[in-house]
Structure 1
């Protein structure tokens, strides 16, 4: 029955590798394990919001937990492959009694040492296929390390783009742009720029879904708190006399709908219109989701919670 733990170990290894692939390298799908871990850490933060959310701990902590789960699951999987062949398939350093170092903990030790590419050599495989398998595990460990670095290098620029868009909207809102000023060629250019940045953020949510679970502490750089104003801005521009402004307003409305669709399908599941999705997004991030357009105040009303 030695093949049962080997099959279980192989299944664990393939499951984690698939999860890493869909989380980091496939732009349209994301790993179920990483998504589940990030969501659970985010939900836990809602019960400790006074301490976790202002410090922005839920996103970084969730990524740390995901990487730890990946590494531990791969190590356990390889340990299950090694364990049935201990001690006969391994050589032991002098001073170690093989019969006393052939348990599951010893198999996990070998797996962790190999995965971390430490190569201590006190317990080493001697069977032919095990000697091939151990370097493969070391390669997987290197891939895991590289994947973690790539994840970090990708997700933080995505967060910066999201926060830059929020700050841009905050600048417009705090500048108290009037309806008359918006009804001009400059207003059309402003709306076009916002549409372009919204498109980039929408793609970021598709490719780096985990970025949703990062909390933006400052109100002016928090996109959930600014989208209501963006929607109001598009509504006001749609009533402008300038044809370029109306065209740009139509494009901005479309960009907002696309963003709402991604947020709703991947995270919120409200099944409602963009206004309802943005209100749920704001509520999930502890923000007010409603906003106003030019000539109607400084923006920001009471947001509604997720239905």
Structure 2
């Protein structure tokens, strides 16, 4: 289980200046490493990385990269997924203490117990899960293809959907599927972006587009606002992080209210600098994501720490659930 964020002191004392960036890149070349940064990382980490994106897209890049070492600037389950898809490569995370409240909200043992109560059910797990949970899963999904994955399963088959209750509620609403059981897990950051806050921000900027991540506590509220006519329905977009970037490049809106972790604003502003992107909740910052500091990255490259290992048998079973997802259709924008 992840230690509580308040108990963790990130590595510090290093300034992210030009000399730091040059040293990071030099060490990466020396280590034959590709640097991957999740969209929720600190801007200076995103800027020094070879690739920035959502966790699944980055894991796929890692799998096709010629580099022998992957440095994954994100949280632990993401580095695990990279190892699952690239078992022969060395995978490093700059701080192994960077966990995830959502991935921690279900364990493999809890999933096995749930499956025992529903022996004929198909298990659909969000990619934001540990390797152990993926190994107990029939098919994984991302936030952008969860509806397609669920729709591909015969209508009379029970489904156990885990671990995110808000994404599960979104999928249930879109598919109208009554035999979909949803685990009561959540990302503490996304859960904290609530409906009243969204309604207040939307009322103050009625012409803004709303980019809402389906993990958010306000996703239902956003659809309610559209249904009530408070916000024009075409302005409400339920999107994964990858799909937010695509939407940013095509929107005609002058301002966009964004409901997801605040690190995403950096990539959105780079994609469409003429648009005013603002967070629905300025405090929606993941302490675990922000543990990947300039000092942590430098330490990782200098010392070759912290290496991520996944038991080969677990990795093989987990890989199968990810591959089944890919076979159903393009996973799109990941989480």
Q: TM-score, normalised by structure 1?
A: 0.24
Q: TM-score, normalised by structure 2?
A: 0.22
Bigger proportion of residues as strand: 2
Answer with 1 or 2: which has the greater Rg.
1
By relative contact order (CA 8 Å, sep 6+), the higher-ranking structure is 2
Bigger proportion of residues as helix: 1
